[in-house]
Structure 1
């Protein structure tokens, strides 16, 4: 296949020998097919390094040129999806990082007819690399739908620091390899109780019940925000609640009315922090989220939570919590598209506000169901285990 030939040439360029060569600082010396994109000009650069590689004799690096932590850069490639439609694709590479203030990781994005609505995406932000770390192999795995047109993949770094990539591989894998898709659909719990069979999706979208992201118990997608008082998106782009309140998007600005309070907020993402700031009602809002912590302030109400990287939580989620001793006193999971470098503005803003600014105790699930009791012997299990009473 043409793509496999191009890919083989590209990987050969990245892995080819360069005896005695010094690190190169020019993006023009990058392996064929790779290039740099960034949130602002001249913030990042990429080059080829022959020292301290993880695999092979050459690695590519991405480094920040500015001390400004508000930004991100990617070392990436883009190629047609035709050879992978209907398949599961794994992009893997060896990474190492140094002094990363922000986060770094692999990323892959599958696009369809509308580039503004990716079909699949993962940037490792839920398992981000921070600080300084040695060589280790990482991967992202996505399903490529039949309507896919383009696949993009590479190394992303937010904030400052330096990251190296080598040993790049693209493999078609079977269903035994789980996807890491931040946009993958998940089971949905109705926000307003059971619905009748005649009830159709409010937004008219066939994907109305497939979540793209979640903050706490509030999930969202392109047409619905499933809070206590759900919002749906009209054809004109206006978000309308079941109470008739309206919310508008103007680029990064989100305005309108939420919970009978005037809303005037801005969302900035892609740097070290995802930040929401402005006013809600008469009080000031300031929400800052990074891979290490989450801070939420509204007037005098404050939530300060630290990332629990050891938590047993869905691989597309970051768990933030506050503890007192061994007791968890506040907890919030942020999942899926809410962790992206370009999260949907209105959905993310309203999902955070719907969770509130007071501590929320972890959800306590019901006890695991047990097999039905079928005989008196089953009822006597404890007695027989402990001997005659």
Structure 2
């Protein structure tokens, strides 16, 4: 299952309302045309709030009702694409969040004749909001192809907490405004009709623009920039410069890395991403949450806590282990590595390339070591040492 299909699986669920969340006094009053969808009934609630809006006189909110962090909800609307075909559309709103354990953001999807193949999509997964943040305007920008039929947009939240939005605007913009489309760098594959025998063009094999990063290893849709880089062939197989091959089958990643066979599964979709299986003869267990990162392989273990005050890009989380003032281990996760639908093969290869031993970052306080004695000091020490 490729990147577009994995995104479509999530968004098909978003496109069909499950059940509107209920407030204690009955159905909440929502703005006309807006509704709630969620991964399971009674997980989230939406309504209108007049207290402390960012812009205007009121805001809409999305709030978790369950302490379960595995789930998502969205406050959304859908409308026809006919007025925006062939144009570039910007969806923007002012947002604030409180105690979000997971992530929140704006999202927009452009749908065509085949609902399983979205034409354009962005959910701010590489720049999502977590924790508590004050008012700020955010935006997603997508091109609307001529074959577009429907546009969906709204506020999405995974995990627990509360998010507000107001000042919602939809604007047609010119080419000077960059798109944020997560599908823009993927090749469009015809869903019907025969295929020729010509070899397909490789996907971004030499592109140096990353969509995600694990430690020092970045990746995009066609390359994993490890010490021994992997690139994706036209048939979808990932191949290293040593001719080792890695295959992706849905959430399963198999093949060979570092001359060891691997069989791993990537489970994502909520506030936690889990990578489990076997590499070589030893079990692998990797867990990513907004607050912790744990990496285990055989007897090797790295356990790190997120440093929320770290001076990193807004698309990154920094995880560290400290011994007093010294940083003993560090891993940065960025972009698609933190998304609810990370690309399985790239994520697995990036973690394996980082390794399971602690990595002391440059500039950390040095670990004290015994002083080095001069030759004269050593000879004096030997002369004064009693002999048996």
Give the TM-score normalised by the residue count of structure 1: 0.67
CA contact (8 A) 2:74 2:157 kept: yes
Residues 297-321 of structure 1, C-alpha deviations (whole Å, 9 max, x = no match)? 2122122223233333333222223
CA contact (8 A) 1:23 1:47 kept: no
Matches within 5 A, 1:128-143: 128-130=129-131, 136-142=135-141
Deviates more, 1:254-263 or 1:86-95: 86-95
For 1:231 and 1:113, how far apart are their aligned partners in 2? 35
Specify the alignment match of 1:4 in structure 2. none
Specify the alignment match of 1:35 in structure 2. 35
Specify the alignment match of 1:95 in structure 2. 96
Specify the alignment match of 2:69 in structure 1. 69
CA contact (8 A) 1:211 1:221 kept: yes
User: Is 1:123 matched up with 2:124?
Assistant: yes
For 2:173 and 2:71, how far apart are their aligned partners in 1? 33
Specify the alignment match of 2:370 in structure 1. none
Residues 5-56 of structure 1, C-alpha deviations (whole Å, 9 max, x = no match)? xxxxxxxxxxxxxxxxx887547x5334333333x33153343234535255
Specify the alignment match of 1:219 in structure 2. 218
| C-alpha deviation, 1:355, in angstroms | 0.9
Specify the alignment match of 2:157 in structure 1. 157
CA contact (8 A) 2:125 2:335 kept: no
CA contact (8 A) 2:142 2:180 kept: no
Q: 1:168 to 1:269 in 2, by over 3 A?
A: same
Q: What secondary structure, in the 3-state scheme, does the structure 2 residue paired with 1:74 have?
A: strand
Residues 86-130 of structure 1, C-alpha deviations (whole Å, 9 max, x = no match)? 757351223343x54433333445678997687563526645332
Q: 1:25 to 1:326 in 2, by over 3 A?
A: farther
User: Is 1:331 matched up with 2:330?
Assistant: yes
CA contact (8 A) 1:317 1:334 kept: yes
Matches within 5 A, 1:259-338: 259-338=258-337
Structure 1, unmatched stretches of 5+, are 1-21, 186-201, 365-389
Q: What secondary structure, in the 3-state scheme, does the structure 2 residue paired with 1:329 have?
A: strand
Structure 2, unmatched stretches of 5+, are 1-22, 186-198, 364-388
RMSD of equivalent CA atoms: 3.8
For 1:169 and 1:23, how far apart are their aligned partners in 2? 31
**How many residues get paired?**
322
For 2:248 and 2:359, how far apart are their aligned partners in 1? 28
Specify the alignment match of 2:369 in structure 1. none
| C-alpha deviation, 1:250, in angstroms | 2.3
CA contact (8 A) 1:90 1:173 kept: no
Give the TM-score normalised by the residue count of structure 2: 0.68
